[in-house]
């Protein structure tokens, strides 16, 4: 019996999000430069996108670079940008072929121009993908997103396009970068830390959290399936009581 048989295909988490952590420690433990960990991390992304597709996850968000990550040494930041641009350009055709549509959330204004251009091109090329939407959270943080949304709401109120009394939870959701994306059902964090690190604070209100010690470069198909199986064991009550 394979792990596949343990998955309930009627209860796949529609939106799975992953905080991909542990690249640096994986490399350091092996006596390698941190950059090697990021390189290996790209391979893990390819594996996990395929695995998510296999079990028909519809939305997969990968937290790739946080607003706070801009504070890392410039060499690491530049190395990461180069790697991401390279990976995106290399993978575009493959993603297109496999029906994967790329979306990006985060403060794109902070990205170097060559990186945002590469991303825009990939988003355009893959726009018709219908099997899986792959959302890359890049230069993203939830506090940045909520601040930005608040500014836009205030602006629309000032202009008279929005009434204060009409502001509901749905309105706020509509002003976030995730406006057309359902909230995550399952949030996985690799690398052993048990924290949210400024990721989708609003959207994860009812997400199921799954923490694993596996460093991101070592994360494989079966690790994703284990998380999904654990998710399926949970009872999601949304504040109500068991039936
Ligand atoms: C995650 O791995 C990748 C990014 C945050 C860009 P880290 O680089 O945070 O790896 P650790 O946590 O230092 O091991
Ligand atoms: C979270 O990892 C951000 C990403 C995975 C992109 P970090 O390594 O930046 O988080 P902290 O600093 O350990 O909280
Ligand atoms: Mg980390």
Tens digit of pLDDT for each residue in 54-87?
Answer: 999 999 999 999 999 999 999 999 999 999 999 9
> Which ligand has an atom closest to residue 197 CA?
2
Both tokens assigned to 125: 């090329």
The total of other beta-carbon atoms located within 10 Å of residue 10's CB is 6
What is the rounded CA–CA span in Å between residue 25 and residue 179? Answer: 34
Residue 16, pLDDT score: 99
**Model's pTM, two decimal places?**
0.98
Specify the 3-state DSSP secondary structure of 78: helix
Tens digit of pLDDT for each residue in 33-45?
Answer: 999 999 999 999 9
With beta carbons less than 8 A apart as the criterion, state whether 238 and 14 touch.
no
Topology classification of domain 11-142+185-232: Undecaprenyl pyrophosphate synthetase (3.40.1180)
Average pLDDT over residues 146-150: 98
Domain ranges of the chain: 11-142+185-232
Residue to probe by mutation, ligand 1, list 18, 22, 48, most atoms within 8 Å of CB: 22
What is the rounded CA–CA span in Å between residue 79 and residue 84? Answer: 9
Tens digit of pLDDT for each residue in 203-234?
Answer: 999 999 999 999 999 999 999 999 999 999 99
């Amino acid at each position: 019996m394979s792990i596949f048989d343990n998955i309930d295909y009627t209860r796949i988490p529609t939106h799975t999000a992953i905080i991909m952590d542990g690249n640096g420690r994986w490399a350091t433990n092996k006596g390698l430069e941190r950059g090697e960990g990021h390189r290996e991390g790209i391979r893990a992304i390819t594996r996990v996108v395929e695995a998510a597709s296999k079990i028909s996850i519809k939305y997969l968000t990968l937290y790739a670079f946080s607003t706070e990550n801009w504070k890392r040494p410039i060499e690491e930041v530049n190395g990461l940008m180069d790697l991401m641009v390279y990976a995106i350009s290399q993978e575009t055709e493959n993603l297109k072929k496999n029906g994967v549509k790329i979306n990006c959330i985060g403060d794109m204004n902070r990205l170097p121009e060559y990186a945002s251009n590469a991303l825009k091109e990939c988003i355009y090329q893959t726009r018709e993908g219908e099997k899986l939407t792959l959302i890359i959270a890049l230069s993203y943080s939830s506090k940045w997103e909520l601040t930005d949304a608040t500014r836009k709401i205030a602006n629309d109120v000032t202009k008279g396009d929005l009434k204060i009394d009409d502001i509901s939870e749905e309105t706020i959701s509509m002003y976030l970068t995730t406006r057309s994306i359902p909230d995550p059902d399952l949030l996985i964090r690799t690398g052993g830390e048990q924290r949210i690190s400024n990721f989708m604070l609003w959207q994860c209100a009812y997400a199921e959290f799954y923490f694993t010690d596996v460093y991101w470069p070592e994360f494989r198909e079966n690790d994703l399936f284990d998380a999904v199986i654990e998710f399926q064991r949970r009872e999601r009550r949304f504040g109500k009581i068991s039936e």
